[in-house]
A = this chain, B = another copy of it.
Amino acid sequence: MAEGSTTTLGYAILGLLAREALSGYDLASRMRARVGFFWQARHSQIYPELTRLEEGGLVTHHVVEQSDRPDKKVYRITDSGFAALSEWVTEPPPGPRAARDELVLKAYSLWLAEPELAVALFRDQEEVHRERLLEYGRIEGWMEKEWGEDILRTDSPRFASYAALQRGIINERGYVEWCRWVAEQLERGKGGAG
């Protein structure tokens, strides 16, 4: 039970429920779209975690009957859940371990690759991240237009959403830059130096 504490996934769920009450199904779609660019989870992870959170007293649920679609369990964060989340937010994240990135791992062995295939890979990834950057830019524009000054009101969830999005934008910008640089080196290279 361990009242008042949970896993990182638990805090991700609480972070969403702190804004609005949601079903497991809705949480799963939020995890794909909204929060998905820095934390992901499948419904197979979410449903059991909701049970644990409820056992720990951090969320409660009630069944909502629907006529046009199947009934659902809507989960709501408790005072205890708010308290746990608020405490966790300012605790320093553990260790200096950086993120795992498979493309960088591939780059580390890139000297073994067929040059044409390597260029194709990085041009392709450049495009993937450029698309994602554009998508984030669209969301940013929407937030600025729809939310106005709220995005700078640091005690509002809108600021928090905007801040998280900024990390995504900066990250994708850097990723595009890197992919392009690698591709250019490979194109220029053709095996020889300068």
Contacts and interface: CB of A to CB of B under 8 A. Distances in A.
B160 A191 contact: no
Of listed A37, A104, A111, A194, residue having the most chain B CB within 10 A: A111
Contacts of A37: 98
Contacts of A14: 109
Copies in the complex: 2
A152 B185 contact: yes
Interface in A176-194: 177-178, 181-182, 185-186, 188-194
A173 B104 CA distance: 16
A42 to B, nearest CB: 11
Interface in A1-31: 8, 11-12, 14-15, 18
Interface residues of A, number: 84
Contacts of A124: 92
A127 B160 CA distance: 21
B160 A107 contact: yes
B152 A12 contact: no
Of listed A98, A99, A149, A156, residue having the most chain B CB within 10 A: A98
Contacts of A113: 86, 89-90
A111 B38 contact: no
Interface stretch (A55-63, A66-74, A162-170): A162-170
